[in-house]
Amino acid sequence: MLLAGGLASLIPGRAKAGVKLTGYSKSAFSTSEKQTPYEAVTTYNNFYEFGTNKDEPAVHARDFKTNPWALRIDGEVAKPVTLDLDRILKLAPLEERIYRFRCVEGWSMVVPWIGFPLSAVINLAAPTSKAKFVAFESYFSEKQMPRWRYAGIPLPYVEGLRMDEAANPLAILAVGLYGEVLPNQNGAPVRLIVPWKYGFKSIKSIVRIRFQERMPPTTWNISNPREYGFYSNVNPEVDHPRWSQAKERRLGEFFKRDTLKFNGYGEQVAQLYAGMNLKRDY
């Protein structure tokens, strides 16, 4: 059983935070660094569909309906499929992944996510040899997202990864944090986490995963191509035009710390970019 009390204990339409996830294992990919308190992780958010101030998503996403949910997986695949929440939660054994999470704005946190490797989706859908990229799309509803007009970015939010990035064992789909179902403001019921990239790649509340030949458009690149590239790997050597990326502030800490290339995950991911000029292809 995945959820304490079973899935039936979730009131339809109200898959609320606070519901415990059980039966997950610990992962060797986890950091032992001090975890950012739950309170900060769940009240200091970027989820522009629910407001652009950090404290707004926790308020405006309170009644966001995340159950029932439909996640469509299609494109260049042998087996297109639509998954409901129950099937999403059973795609693969759940693991706790305690990851560093670095936002391009210069803050960072350490979060105990619960999820499973994104490769479970690749295995399920069986992409054809034409599939070179994976495109992700967030849920969007004007009705459910009352602050959408003020987002200042085109919606729905879209993101993308190269196939080999998506298959890397560090890339996960998260369904929880701190042992509980994801709070709405953190991207319920299912979101991407790619810990070696800036936080904006970690798209929330995903409704579609499409395998395709072409590099997909990404929200921040559409909004401001000079400031945001497709790869967006954490890189202290490449400054954002408005923010130095050399240092970061861990939420709750006073002094800044040095930012690590690939957010400290170089051992697992540096080989993905061998031969690439990361100063040009940022």
List interacting residues with ligand MTE (CB under 6 A).
45-49, 103, 138, 157, 186-187, 199-200, 202-205
Least distance in Å: CB of 168 to ligand MTE?
A: 19
Least distance in Å: CB of 60 to ligand MTE?
A: 12
Least distance in Å: CB of 205 to ligand MTE?
A: 6
Select 132 or 264, whichever has its Cβ closest to ligand MTE. 264
Least distance in Å: CB of 111 to ligand MTE?
A: 7
Amino acid symbol at 120: A
CA distance 76 to 40: 39
Least distance in Å: CB of 39 to ligand MTE?
A: 13
Tokens 């407001």 correspond to 51
SS3 105: coil
SS3 122: helix
Select 76 or 221, whichever has its Cβ closest to ligand MTE. 221
DSSP state of 15: -
Least distance in Å: CB of 254 to ligand MTE?
A: 20
Select 223 or 244, whichever has its Cβ closest to ligand MTE. 223
What separation in angstroms does the CA of 218 have from each of 99, 192, 221, 268?
A: 23, 14, 5, 24
Residues 6+ apart with CB under 8 A from 149: none
Q: Which residue is nearest to ligand MTE (CB)?
A: 199
Select 202 or 263, whichever has its Cβ closest to ligand MTE. 202
Residues 6+ apart with CB under 8 A from 120: 91, 92, 173
Residues 6+ apart with CB under 8 A from 150: 51, 52
Beta bridge partners of 100: 110
Least distance in Å: CB of 258 to ligand MTE?
A: 20
CA distance 239 to 237: 6
Select 7 or 238, whichever has its Cβ closest to ligand MTE. 238
Select 200 or 231, whichever has its Cβ closest to ligand MTE. 200
Going by their DSSP bridges, the two strands 133-138 and 81-83 should be labelled as unpaired
Q: Which two tokens stand for residue 139?
A: 């849920």
Select 127 or 208, whichever has its Cβ closest to ligand MTE. 208
Q: Which two tokens stand for residue 141?
A: 């509803």
